[in-house]
């Protein structure tokens, strides 16, 4: 299987590796990290997903704006 065809698996492995680096003692020492609290993980998730949510809201706004333009064009039919 090609690497590009399994993006979800790669993303899941990446998340697991990040959690291991933060919470598993041998990797804590190797990367000089410390465990995060649940609220800190929540903040990380919120900040990481902010770009996604902004992009989705922007696309929704564009679709709504284009829909209004189509409605205005249909009303101008003589």
Per-residue pLDDT of 16-26, as tens digits, reads 998 999 999 99
Query: What gap in Å lies between CA 9 and CA 2, rounded to an integer?
Result: 12
Query: Cβ(27)–Cβ(33) under 8 Å?
Result: yes
Range of the domain at 8: 1-35
Residue 27 maps to a domain: yes
Residue 52 maps to a domain: no
Residue 17 maps to a domain: yes
Q: What's the average model confidence in pLDDT over 48-77?
A: 79
Query: Cβ(35)–Cβ(23) under 8 Å?
Result: yes
Residue 1 maps to a domain: yes
Residue 71 maps to a domain: no
User: pTM of the prediction?
Assistant: 0.56
Residue 12 maps to a domain: yes
Residue 41 maps to a domain: no
Domain count, the chain: 1
Residue 7 maps to a domain: yes
The answer to whether residue 78 scores a pLDDT higher than 60 is no
Residues 6+ apart with CB under 8 A from 44: 36
Q: Residue 31's pLDDT band (boundaries 50, 70, 90)?
A: very high
């Amino acid at each position: 299987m090609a690497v590009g065809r399994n993006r979800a698996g790669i993303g899941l492995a990446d998340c697991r590796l990040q959690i291991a680096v933060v919470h598993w003692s041998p990797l804590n020492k190797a990367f000089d990290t410390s465990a995060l609290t649940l609220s800190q993980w929540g903040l990380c998730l919120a900040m990481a997903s902010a770009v996604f949510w902004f992009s989705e809201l922007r696309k929704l706004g564009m679709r709504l704006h284009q829909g209004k333009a189509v409605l205005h064009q249909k009303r101008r039919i003589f």
